[in-house]
């Protein structure tokens, strides 16, 4: 998928403001393509955010999340220079 | 006699396999075990809450939902949720009139993530956005905000 996510983080005092943009169609299974066929369900189901290797936020999501999802969250205990890792699981179907 | 020794050997491997299973080493790989399928496939808020094992949430003014009063485009409705309830463990978001109301839930690591989340959801029609907060003491708190939708975000 190349580079599916863009992440921005801003440190405000001791609170890290994180925004994640994921490129994903988030198909609801209710939309029809040009030929009138239903586009099958296809959406992000789970998301985990880690800070310095420790999971800090876990999410489960449905097809009701908008296309190209944007999530924002706030983390504590982050310092400038910290590394972050993240992971998106994109199942089919 | 070779037979008994073979038998014990078989028994041993059997025991070994059972021990490995018990230790979780040979657990059948269950993809997305955390994903609450029954809740996501519920068609009413009541069913979804039941499948989320939410028991009698109390209305709370300490849950702040920031969402537009009128959303022009139901495909992208920005919502921000902040819980001011101490010990907030998770936040679940349900869109009452969507075909499948349960939209998402977020679990926060205590002390590491503030009970805040911003997301963008699809809304099929004007509906309440219902937020259920679970706290560390096992209690549930709820709040709702109505968002009017002029163009639906499902289908099309």
Query: Residue A67 belongs to a domain with what CATH number?
Result: 2.60.40.10
Domain-located, residue A38: yes
Top CATH class, B37-151: mainly beta
pLDDT at position B128: 94
The stretch B138-146 carries a mean pLDDT of: 94
ipTM score here? 0.82
Domain-located, residue A89: no
Closest-CA distance, A36 to chain B, in angstroms, reads 11
Phi, psi of B154 (to 5 degrees): -110, 150
> Residue B123's pLDDT band (boundaries 50, 70, 90)?
very high
What is the residue range of A53's domain? 5-77
The verdict on a CB contact (< 8 Å) between A76 and B154 is no
DSSP single-letter state for residue B125:
S
pLDDT in tens, A45-75: 888 888 877 888 999 999 999 998 999 999 8
Q: Which bin fits B7, alpha (ψ -120 to 50), beta or left (φ > 0)?
A: alpha
Domain-located, residue A87: no
Domain-located, residue A72: yes
List the domain boundaries for chain B. 37-151
What average pLDDT is seen over chain B? Answer: 82
The verdict on a CB contact (< 8 Å) between A30 and B154 is yes
What average pLDDT is seen over chain A? Answer: 80
Domain-located, residue A21: yes
The verdict on a CB contact (< 8 Å) between B109 and A56 is yes
pLDDT in tens, B31-55: 444 788 889 989 999 999 999 998 8
Q: Where are the alpha helices (DSSP H) in chain B?
A: 3-22, 37-40, 45-51
Which residue on chain B is closest to A90 by alpha carbon?
Answer: B32
Lowest mean pLDDT segment, chosen from A34-38, B48-52, B61-65, B92-96: A34-38
Strand partners, B135: B88
Q: Structurally, how many domains does chain A consist of? A: 1
Which residue on chain A is closest to B75 by alpha carbon?
Answer: A66
The verdict on a CB contact (< 8 Å) between A73 and B99 is no
Strand partners, A38: A32
What is the 3-state secondary structure of B52-80? CCCCCCEECCCEEEECCCEEEECCCEEEE
């Amino acid at each position: 998928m190349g580079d599916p996510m863009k992440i921005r983080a801003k440190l405000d005092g001791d609170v890290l403001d994180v925004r994640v943009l994921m490129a994903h169609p988030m198909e609801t299974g209710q939309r029809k393509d040009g030929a009138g066929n239903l586009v099958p369900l296809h959406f992000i189901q789970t998301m985990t955010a880690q800070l310095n290797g420790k999971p800090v936020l876990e999410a489960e999501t449905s097809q009701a999340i908008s296309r190209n999802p944007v999530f924002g969250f706030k983390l504590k205990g982050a310092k400038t220079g910290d590394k972050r890792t993240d992971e998106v699981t994109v199942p089919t179907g | 006699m070779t037979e008994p020794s073979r038998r014990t050997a078989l028994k041993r491997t059997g025991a070994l396999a059972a021990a490995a299973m018990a230790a979780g080493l040979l657990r059948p790989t269950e993809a997305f075990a955390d994903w609450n399928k029954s809740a996501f496939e519920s068609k009413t808020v009541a069913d979804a809450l039941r499948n989320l094992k939410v028991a009698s949430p109390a209305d709370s003014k300490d849950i702040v939902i920031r969402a537009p009063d009128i959303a022009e485009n139901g495909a992208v409705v920005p919502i921000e949720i902040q819980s001011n309830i101490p010990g907030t463990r998770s936040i679940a978001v349900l869109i009452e009139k969507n075909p499948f109301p349960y939209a998402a839930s977020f679990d926060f690591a205590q002390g590491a993530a503030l009970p805040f989340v911003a997301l963008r959801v699809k809304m099929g029609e004007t509906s309440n956005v219902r937020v259920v907060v679970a706290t560390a003491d096992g209690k549930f708190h709820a709040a709702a905000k109505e968002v009017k939708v002029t163009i639906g975000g499902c289908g099309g």
